[in-house]
Amino acid sequence: MSVSNLSNRASTCFFDKDAESQGGQSGAASDQRWDLSDLYASADAWNEARLAAAAGLGALADYEGRLGESGAVLADFLTAYFDAQKVISQLYTYASLAADQDLRESTGLERQSLIQGTASQFGQTVSFVEPELIALGAVCLRSFVDDEVRLAPYDHYLSDLIRQQKHVLTDAEEKILAAASESMATANAAYRVLSNADIDWPRIELSTGETVLLDASGYGNYRQLDSREDRERVFRAFFEKHHQYRNTFATTLQGQVKNHIFSSRVRGYDSCLERALDGENIPAGVYRTLVQVVNDSLPTLHRYFRLRGRMLGIEDLRYFDIYPELVDRDLVYKIDQCKAITLDAVRPLGNEYVSSMADALDKPWMDVYPREGKRSGAYMAGSAYDVHPYLMLNHHDDYNSLSTFAHEWGHAMHSLLSNEAQPFAKASYATFVAEVASIVNETLLSDRLIANAEAAGDDETRLFFLTEALEGMRGTFFRQTMFGEFELNIHEEVEQGGALSGDKLTQMYGDILRRYHGHDEGVLTIDDVVCTEWGYIPHFYMNFYVYQYATSMAAAFAVVERIRREGDVARQAYLAALSAGGSAHPYEILKEAGLDMADASVYQAVVNRMDEVLDQVGALL
């Protein structure tokens, strides 16, 4: 496991919902804070544990050249090896949680840099392990696993290593690749500096007389303004700036695409997509089926846009009309209400799930409210295997916060179930299944709130929840797949010998944007200026990542639908998938639970649900 893997483990959901804005709720009660002493009694105790972990690394080094001696020796080693990873994960969790409580404190940064040092020392110490295991070969490793019962927790790790063996190069070649990795990070780093620091983002005056800065976060805040003229000016100013820098944006993006191509070719993959999916052993059919079904289902998305136009009273819908809320509802959800509502909503997951969650909610595992210096956004950190999950929230007492609460608790319950059922080496689950657990809970919450509003005869509130659900399907299912399709197009363009200039990217993105939004059918007009949006999306640098939001939503809807239809059998299958953690490949885990993510019917279920919700909204108008 590399250093970066270890740091990723510290937060399963590291770029989850970002808080749109900060404010309010200073001086929150201390029972709304997490208790880090469950991890270490004090900062000093943390440091002692870190020094002890570092001192223990020498014992791992002694195994170099010995892993093939016998199954017993290999079991001794792997036990110590994974124990060390477990300890470092816990040290990492403490360091990052403590730092996120107040980013202004330099001790937090120092602690993170100390544990990074220990982790990198670990990485260097164990760099012999995987080449040595691969050299032993499949036959030898399999016979060790068959004969030595203590190797059972590591069988998936070992077989996965063998599976990927054909893409591992010689020692000398691997060293060259490792040495090149730092310079290959430049394209992404340059993109981030350009968009976050160097560009002089525009300021515009709104119709209220207020002057606002349109950097990424300003754009996020002002793109949903009620005034249509203001929205148009926000979009124009923000994307004209991207047009101005299109050649530099294109250079960094093309640089990143070429990195992906280089890595896939030297490792013997046929394409970047194949390499990106191979890490978790996901069939390429998953990606292509998703894109195909979404393209076939664009009439449903267009139906939503037409409804949006109708509700906003706009006949000539344009790209800047996508974000304003359709129903204005000031719903307040204090944290205790969030607990009660979410517990009620997840009842379809069974008594055991509910009571285990109820117990967890009473414990000091969450940092609930925003305060000065605290990290923004929300995440769940589930990799302190021997302790428990922690949740970072920035709760604003509104619906969005309630939904985030249910989402992050979906992750926390997944970690609880997986850590309980699996040994450490099999507990950490892949992103491909992680977002299923969170979106299932969000979906159950949405269903519950819609049903409650219906029971109360409150049509306006029901309409609010229904339109929020539609917006979720647009943003997570259709938009992320659109990104995924663009990502595939630009990689294939360069793989086939083409080049990506700024204007070329704008044309490619514009084509896809117009198709998804029904430009030619007169559904929603895409002006030329917004076709530089590709420069604004950091995920295009992440090597085929975002499609998993769309697949996860599809899997989650299928789970909820099946539990509703089939009851206990479907519930047990789903809980078993959560408990499976990382004991198998994520595609297999979902398939075992009855969800074949390479089959079109899973994605069709999202479209059917969206059509149903559109019918319900239509009936209320």
Return the active site residues.
408
Closest by CA position to 116, among listed 2, 199, 32: 2
Minimum distance from residue 198 beta carbon to Zn ion (Å): 31
Nearer to Zn ion, 18 or 147 (CB): 18
Task: Report the 10 Å Cβ neighbour count for 25.
Answer: 16
Q: Which of 90, 394, 403, 438 binds Zn ion (CB under 5 A)?
A: 438
Q: Does 383 bind Zn ion (CB under 5 A)?
A: no
Candidate segments 241-249, 351-359, 430-438, 444-452, binder of Zn ion by CB under 5 A: 430-438
> How deeply is 455 buried, as exposed, middle or buried, from its count of CB atoms within 10 A (0-12, 13-18, 19+)?
exposed
Minimum distance from residue 589 beta carbon to Zn ion (Å): 17
Nearer to Zn ion, 126 or 346 (CB): 346
3-class DSSP state of 247: helix
226 half-sphere exposure, CB direction, 13 A CA radius: 3
DSSP states of 427-455: TPPPHHHHHHHHHHHHHHHHHHHHHHHHH
Minimum distance from residue 472 beta carbon to Zn ion (Å): 13
Give CA–CA dist 69/78, Å, rounded.
13
Candidate segments 125-133, 169-177, 383-391, 437-445, binder of Zn ion by CB under 5 A: 437-445
Candidate segments 9-17, 172-180, 186-194, 382-390, binder of Zn ion by CB under 5 A: 9-17
Q: Does 16 bind Zn ion (CB under 5 A)?
A: yes
Q: Please give the residues from 284 up to 323 whose contact with Zn ion meets the rule CB under 5 A.
A: none
Nearer to Zn ion, 90 or 403 (CB): 403
Minimum distance from residue 434 beta carbon to Zn ion (Å): 7
Q: Does 552 bind Zn ion (CB under 5 A)?
A: no
Q: Does 13 bind Zn ion (CB under 5 A)?
A: yes
Give CA–CA dist 419/243, Å, rounded.
48
Nearer to Zn ion, 13 or 91 (CB): 13
Minimum distance from residue 17 beta carbon to Zn ion (Å): 8
DSSP states of 546-592: THHHHHHHHHHHHHHHHHHHHTHHHHHHHHHHHHTTTSS-HHHHHHH
**CA distance between the termini of the chain:** 55
Q: Does 442 bind Zn ion (CB under 5 A)?
A: no
Q: Does 1 bind Zn ion (CB under 5 A)?
A: no
Candidate segments 10-18, 82-90, 190-198, 312-320, binder of Zn ion by CB under 5 A: 10-18
Q: Does 253 bind Zn ion (CB under 5 A)?
A: no
Q: Does 441 bind Zn ion (CB under 5 A)?
A: no
Cβ-contact 148, 75 below 8 angstroms? yes
Nearer to Zn ion, 349 or 526 (CB): 349
Tell me which H or E stretch contains 484.
Answer: helix 479-495
Minimum distance from residue 359 beta carbon to Zn ion (Å): 22
Backbone φ and ψ of 371, nearest 5°? -150, 165
Size of the site for Zn ion (CB under 5 A): 3
CA angle (598, 601, 602) in 5-degree steps:
70
Binding-site ranges for Zn ion (CB under 5 A):
13, 16, 438
